[in-house]
Structure 1
Amino acid sequence: MKKTRLAVALAIIFSASGTVLAADSTEVQVLKQQMETMQKQMAAMQNKLETMTASSQAPQKTGEANAPLAANIGGANVTLYGFADLSADVGNDGKQGVKQVSSNLSYVGVRASKNLGATGMKAIVQVETLANISGTPTETGALASRNSFVGLAGGFGKLMLGKTDTPYKRATGMMDPFSSSVGDYNSIMGNTGGDLRAEFDARVPHSIFYDSPKFHGFSVNALFSPGQKFDNLAGSDKYAFAQGEKICAGATPGSSGSTLDAGSTLCNDGAFKNAYSLAFNYESGPLLGTVDYERHQSVDRTGDTGGITSDESAAKIGVSYNFGSNRLSGIYEKFSRDGSIVPSVNERARNGYYVSDVQQLGNGMDLMGAWAHAAQTPGGPDFGAVDDKANMYALGLKYHYDKQLALYVVGAMLKQGTGAHYTIGAGGHGTAIASPRSDAGDTIPGETIKALSVGMQYAF
């Protein structure tokens, strides 16, 4: 450092000396320009040395990214990434208290891309796996259990094969600031029957899907998942496992439709044949809008009282606007069911409403609030045509330390009609809090469910 400063001083001295000694004014001017250039170079060197010295002495902040986790392997760009989201939860299902530690939306993944030369296209691949950090991994944590695919990308968009969140699910995901927490909107949105799963906010396997490029703010996402095969275990008139699958599409692993549960092989708890999903999106500046539709063919509900096999569909409209320090979002959703089912046992047809708001408080702090409403259904297989409306309220505070690390506290409350049996944390939270059950295993409807969660998120 001292040598650098000395060199700068000498340059100034030589410049002054040259001015005095030069007899010709032109030579003096040239010499001045040379000395000025040298001074600038020396000053730049000094600044660089000072920056390097300071960075080598200063400790790095926690959560601050180092070099990207990427490499070039065999001509392909390969990136390792992941997300950890753990929380400590306390709750009450209306009958008893619940304490738990949840892994939530935690995962690790590898993605790669390779340029295909003059074609202007790239080959792409992604393998993503759920990480059950706080609990014992199960079949849901198997390799490639999350969005995993191969495909081609270019000026035409992206065409992929594999498994992915449906376009219907992805379209409004950013409108839920409580995603994967106890305040996740899947307690009601995308959830046709108040189950632990949100059937119209799901990841679909063995699929073909396409993402278009944006054109004047407009884009389209489409997905088709081909049908199930016939399985003798289910009988000749039942759609069972898809080719290459051990779990019925749409069924709940471990309770119905999983070969790991030998007593439940009929796939009569929501398994479907083909699935179609479409999302029409528009984004311009602070405005985001989407119109979406998804259809499941031949959904088997024969496990329900009065249940039949019929098509089920969902449609929704979502709008979000960023006012600068505040983002306001709203969604309207409608579930429909074809067929001649008796209305008094049809809990799969209803409307849903959702509003969320995120207010930036400054210094990385966000205040979040949301409300979701499940309207009345024609009836239900267990409780008939009684009040099964529900409202979910969520309030949270989130502190973004930097782009990688965030801390949060979230509270949620689910108030239900006498025939409703919805679940807090369905569809994404590590351990959901469902409506309570009797000693005989029957669902007890109408209870108010509450939960409070404190957690940390880290992305890399």
Structure 2
Amino acid sequence: MKKKAISALLASAFAASAVMIPTMAAAQSSAELMQQIQALQAQLKAIQAQVDKQAQATQQATQTAQQAQQTAKQASTSVAAVQKEADSTKASVSTIFERIDIPKQANSYKPGTVNMYTGEANPSVAGNTNFMAREKDDSLSFTMPAGGGITLYGNLDVSADYVNNGISSAPGQNGGNGPYGNNGYLAALSTNNTYIGLRGFQPISDWHDTQFLWQLQTNLALTTVSGTSMTNSQQSNSVNGGFTTGTTYIGFGSKDYGAFKVGKTIAPYQSSTAAFNTPFAGTLGSYNVIMGNTGGDNRVEFGTLMEHSVWYESPAWNNISFAALFSPGQNRATDSSGIPQSSSNCNGGNIPGSGNASGNGAGQNTGGVGSNYCDDGGFSNAFSTSLVYDDKKAWYAVAAYELHQNVNRGSDIVGANPAVLPSNYTATQLALADVGNESAFKTGLMYKFASTGTTIGGIYEWMYRNIPSYLQAQNERQRSGFWLTAVQDLPGANQVAVGWARANAAQGDAAGQHNYDPTIATGSSTANMYTITGIHQVDRNLSFYANYAATINNGNAHYDMGAGGHGITTDCHDSGVSGNNSGAPANGGITGGPQCWGGTHIQGISVGMRYRF
């Protein structure tokens, strides 16, 4: 366009020159006129050359711009291809990580999902907002076909203990021999609440969001060889380290209707309040020393692993959840004196005859004699339930109930002081009468102050035993008690916690079976357990802790230390071998009945490390 304008200008110049020529010819000579014309033509040629040069440059610039545009288009296409390839690679990598996911543990169990044995109740699968998603708190999870998953989890806990059993000064019967053996302080290494397990889920086709659930958990012994427990304080036919000795089940679950499971587990009565015991779980000063522990010792009647059970866990509705469990007794004996079918222990976790060395008691309808019957707390059917409010922020409230039917306490009628029993009844009659229902109810409230990192909580508990009035004098199973705790988070991933458990006076004493002077039988049967724990969290998995605890038994009381999870328990039976001719452990000269020393003051310190994954 510019070139055409210049050409038009030149044409006008030539036209002007043509008009000027006649005038110039009249004024000047032909020679001068020719020179002027030639000069003008030279100027016009120079202008034409410049115009041509400028037009050529414009054409080259246009071509260069077109080439640049083509190059930019090609570059854009290349970028799109690279982006597409990058997206494809990213998707492939994401798929790989979905197949193999190794996340780090988040604040396990808050401090706890303690798992029943770690102090944190196993979180309700149905109550999880990410129901049956890969468990981000566990160290190793794998996906399975059709969207399922499998997770390896566990808790490894070892401590060094230094404990005084408090038996040295215990009196013998009627001023007789006291306890023998290496009493006082004793050093020991203990494996506490240690287990490893696998849990998984698998979606079920055409069942809405229903999934098949399963878990296999095995309790382990890190400091001893696996085997049965046959010490003075613990007797069990269950092999510690045997496969699936812990919480194990199969079932179905949905985020809409909850979870139904079949197997063995800690019942809702115990698991619903595990959060109140988190810093102390598995230590000397666990709240299990008194809470749920009807007779003292170390068995925690309302906190044991409930075998052959079926249970339901609801989802959370407005922060409220519900759980219920039923366990059939599986016992042909009408007085619960037989071992349940398919079990290795009596219901409640004892071996047959564990509370009755002399062989007296019920069991006539079992076909067995001597120690072949479960007369130290064996029961038939069991029912357990809990109702929980948890806003996941500050408030936690719980109410729980558990019932054991036809609990056989025939062994409670034998011992050092049978004079409290009616003289017109035979031992067999009394033993058959000493079978009744036992139940427990508790309510608890916990609150966390987010601004200070302080958590306070408390539980009040009532336990009952339904037996005839003439046996109430030996009913140590009926009482109330409470647990108070405060936990303070500290800088540097540290935590300190204190706790106080109180057992109020029981209805009676177990027929004076304990090896102390029966003249103190009217003394108080109360007990207090005080404990303090410090925890340092190294990382998400590893922690170190130190725990001090003291159990102060009054009069006839014989509560222990370390019940419900600590590997080594210290109770009224924890003494050496007698030097007299009876051959029974520390029996104070008594040849019949269990060897138990009441009124002891037990205390100890434990330092340990724990690894949860």
| TM-score (ref. length: structure 2) | 0.62
1:104 pairs with 2:166: no
Q: Classify the secondary structure of the residue corresponding to 1:330.
A: strand
Q: Confirm or deny: 8 A CA contact 1:63 1:458 kept in the other structure.
A: no
AA partner of residue 100 (structure 1): A
How far 1:72 sits from its partner (Å)? 3.6
Q: Confirm or deny: 8 A CA contact 1:168 1:201 kept in the other structure.
A: yes
Q: Confirm or deny: 8 A CA contact 1:344 1:385 kept in the other structure.
A: no
In structure 2, C-alpha distance between the alignment counterparts of 1:230 and 1:350, rounded to whole Å: 30
1:282 pairs with 2:428: no
Q: Classify the secondary structure of the residue corresponding to 1:118.
A: coil
Partner of 1:367: 496
1:117 pairs with 2:210: no
Q: Confirm or deny: 8 A CA contact 1:102 1:134 kept in the other structure.
A: yes
Q: Classify the secondary structure of the residue corresponding to 1:200.
A: helix
How far 1:250 sits from its partner (Å)? 1.3
Partner of 1:447: 600
In structure 1, C-alpha distance between the alignment counterparts of 2:503 and 2:305, rounded to whole Å: 22
Partner of 1:326: 454
Q: Classify the secondary structure of the residue corresponding to 2:271.
A: helix
Q: Confirm or deny: 8 A CA contact 2:150 2:199 kept in the other structure.
A: yes
The counterpart of 1:248, out of the listed 346, 361, 382, is 346
Partner of 1:210: 312
Tell me, which stretches of 5 or more residues in structure 2 are unaligned?
Answer: 1-63, 87-103, 107-135, 169-183, 228-238, 357-367, 414-420, 422-430, 513-517, 576-584, 588-593
Q: Classify the secondary structure of the residue corresponding to 1:304.
A: helix
Q: Which stretch of the first structure deviates more once superposed, 437-446 or 110-119?
A: 437-446
How far 1:68 sits from its partner (Å)? 4.3
1:71 pairs with 2:142: yes
Q: Classify the secondary structure of the residue corresponding to 2:341.
A: coil
How far 1:396 sits from its partner (Å)? 1.2
> Per-residue displacement from partner, 1:201-230 (whole Å, max 9, x unpaired)?
121000000100000011101000012322
In structure 2, C-alpha distance between the alignment counterparts of 1:263 and 1:23, rounded to whole Å: 108
The counterpart of 2:274, out of the listed 166, 169, 173, is 173
The counterpart of 2:554, out of the listed 414, 417, 424, is 417
1:376 pairs with 2:447: no
Q: Confirm or deny: 8 A CA contact 1:256 1:266 kept in the other structure.
A: no
How far 1:73 sits from its partner (Å)? 4.5
1:398 pairs with 2:530: no
Q: Confirm or deny: 8 A CA contact 1:388 1:419 kept in the other structure.
A: yes
> Per-residue displacement from partner, 1:286-324 (whole Å, max 9, x unpaired)?
100000000000000011116600000000001111112
Q: Which stretch of the first structure deviates more once superposed, 111-120 or 276-285?
A: 111-120
In structure 2, C-alpha distance between the alignment counterparts of 1:66 and 1:377, rounded to whole Å: 42
Partner of 2:38: none
In structure 2, C-alpha distance between the alignment counterparts of 1:92 and 1:166, rounded to whole Å: 32
How far 1:262 sits from its partner (Å)? 9.6
> Per-residue displacement from partner, 1:231-260 (whole Å, max 9, x unpaired)?
5xxxx75541222112110142376399xx
Q: Confirm or deny: 8 A CA contact 1:248 1:257 kept in the other structure.
A: no
In structure 1, C-alpha distance between the alignment counterparts of 2:501 and 2:301, rounded to whole Å: 17
The counterpart of 1:335, out of the listed 446, 463, 472, is 463
AA partner of residue 126 (structure 1): Q
How far 1:136 sits from its partner (Å)? 1.8
Q: Classify the secondary structure of the residue corresponding to 2:412.
A: coil
AA partner of residue 102 (structure 1): S
Partner of 1:147: 247
In structure 2, C-alpha distance between the alignment counterparts of 1:264 and 1:439, rounded to whole Å: 20
Q: Confirm or deny: 8 A CA contact 1:197 1:426 kept in the other structure.
A: yes
Q: Cα 1:367–1:255, aligned 2, differ >3 Å: closer, same or farther?
A: farther
Q: Cα 1:344–1:386, aligned 2, differ >3 Å: closer, same or farther?
A: farther
Partner of 2:158: 86
In structure 1, C-alpha distance between the alignment counterparts of 2:348 and 2:541, rounded to whole Å: 33
AA partner of residue 333 (structure 1): E
Larger radius of gyration: 2
Partner of 2:260: 159
Q: Classify the secondary structure of the residue corresponding to 2:302.
A: coil
Q: Which stretch of the first structure deviates more once superposed, 293-302 or 305-314?
A: 305-314
Q: Confirm or deny: 8 A CA contact 2:351 2:374 kept in the other structure.
A: no
In structure 2, C-alpha distance between the alignment counterparts of 1:157 and 1:263, rounded to whole Å: 46
Q: Which stretch of the first structure deviates more once superposed, 244-253 or 395-404?
A: 244-253
AA partner of residue 410 (structure 1): N
How far 1:98 sits from its partner (Å)? 1.7
In structure 2, C-alpha distance between the alignment counterparts of 1:93 and 1:310, rounded to whole Å: 32
Q: Classify the secondary structure of the residue corresponding to 1:214.
A: coil
The counterpart of 2:326, out of the listed 224, 231, 236, is 224
Partner of 1:136: 225
| Greater than 6 Å deviation, 4+ residue runs | 62-67
Higher fraction of helix:
2
Q: Confirm or deny: 8 A CA contact 2:336 2:380 kept in the other structure.
A: no
Higher fraction of strand:
1
> Per-residue displacement from partner, 1:327-385 (whole Å, max 9, x unpaired)?
11100000011121432211001111101111011111001110000000121112544
Q: Classify the secondary structure of the residue corresponding to 1:182.
A: coil
Partner of 1:298: 406
Q: Confirm or deny: 8 A CA contact 1:251 1:267 kept in the other structure.
A: no
In structure 2, C-alpha distance between the alignment counterparts of 1:90 and 1:172, rounded to whole Å: 28
In structure 1, C-alpha distance between the alignment counterparts of 2:353 and 2:274, rounded to whole Å: 27
In structure 1, C-alpha distance between the alignment counterparts of 2:507 and 2:381, rounded to whole Å: 26
In structure 1, C-alpha distance between the alignment counterparts of 2:541 and 2:474, rounded to whole Å: 47
Q: Confirm or deny: 8 A CA contact 2:525 2:553 kept in the other structure.
A: yes
In structure 1, C-alpha distance between the alignment counterparts of 2:467 and 2:564, rounded to whole Å: 27
Q: Confirm or deny: 8 A CA contact 1:378 1:385 kept in the other structure.
A: no
AA partner of residue 605 (structure 2): L
In structure 2, C-alpha distance between the alignment counterparts of 1:88 and 1:150, rounded to whole Å: 36
In structure 2, C-alpha distance between the alignment counterparts of 1:140 and 1:211, rounded to whole Å: 28
AA partner of residue 84 (structure 1): L
Partner of 2:118: none
- How many residues of Structure 1 are paired with residues of Structure 2 in the alignment? 413
Partner of 1:356: 485
Q: Confirm or deny: 8 A CA contact 2:270 2:302 kept in the other structure.
A: yes
In structure 2, C-alpha distance between the alignment counterparts of 1:456 and 1:372, rounded to whole Å: 24
1:407 pairs with 2:544: yes
Partner of 2:40: none
How far 1:23 sits from its partner (Å)? 8.2
